[in-house]
Amino acid sequence: MGSQGRVRPTLATPRMVLEPMRPEHLPHLVDLDGDPEVMRHLIGRARTAEEARAHWRPFCERTAADRHGLGFWVGFADGDFVGWWDASPPLPVTDRVPSTAEVGWRLRRQRWGGGLATEGARAVLEHCFVTVGLLRVTAETMAVNQASRGVMRKLGMRHVRTEVREWDDPLPSAEQGEVVYEITREEWLGFGPTAES
C-alpha cells in the first residue's frame, strides 16, 4: 500500500499542538539552540544565531518526507513554543514507503521535567505506527544523557546497543558511547512474543 498524497499532519496531545516545521518557525529554533544547556549533549555549546539559522533553514524548507507523513514538528502549549520532535526516515527519501524511522526531540529548558518530551514523542510514535504503518522506530543519544534515556524507557523503547564512535572534537563523556533504543510496531500496539497470531 502506498502513501501517495499523504502529508505530515498536525498532531494533538493533551497539552500541546505539534505543527509541521516550516520556515516561519525558524526564530524559535534559533532561540532554542542558543541555550548551552539544551545543546550540552549535542555540540557541547550554544549555537550562534547564524549557525542555528544555517542548520535549521534546510529542515524548515525540506518537505520530501511529507509524502510519507514524516519529518519534523514544532510543539506549542497555550500558544507558547515548547520544542521540536521528529520522525525521520532513512535518507535519501524515495517514493518507497519506509519501514523504519528515527525519532528525536529537543525542548526549551524552561519546559524540562514536566513530561512534555514524552507526551510529544508518544504522539509521534502513535502516528508512525498507526497512521504511517512503520514497523520499527529507533532513537539515540549519548550514554550519559539520562534525561533522554528516561523518555525512551517511558515510551517502551528497549536499549539495543551502545556504540563508541570516533569524533573530531569529542564531548565530555563521549568515551561512554552513544546508546541506541528501539521499539517495534507490535510492541507499541501491545503484542508480546506470546500473543496469538
Whether 183 has a pLDDT exceeding 80, the answer reads yes
* Per-residue pLDDT, 7: 81
* Per-residue pLDDT, 195: 37
pLDDT tens digits for range 132-182: 999 999 999 999 999 999 999 999 999 999 998 787 777 877 788 999 999
Any idea what the CATH number is for the domain that residue 112 is in? Answer: 3.40.630.30
* Per-residue pLDDT, 193: 42
pLDDT tens digits for range 74-129: 999 999 999 999 999 998 888 888 999 999 999 999 999 999 999 999 999 999 99
Q: Quote the CA–CA distance of 137 and 104 in Å, as a whole number.
A: 10
Q: Quote the CA–CA distance of 59 and 62 in Å, as a whole number.
A: 5
Domain-located, residue 6: no
Whether 2 has a pLDDT exceeding 70, the answer reads no
pTM listed for this prediction = 0.89
Domain-located, residue 195: no
Residue pair 35/109 in contact by the 8 Å Cβ criterion: yes
The CA distances from residue 119 to 72, 112, 113, in Å, are 15, 12, 12
* Per-residue pLDDT, 191: 57
The CA distances from residue 103 to 58, 179, 180, in Å, are 18, 13, 11
* Per-residue pLDDT, 4: 40
Domain-located, residue 140: yes
Bigger pLDDT: 21 vs 175:
21
Domain count within the chain: 1
Domain-located, residue 1: no
Instruction: Give the residue numbers spanning the domain of 71.
Output: 11-188
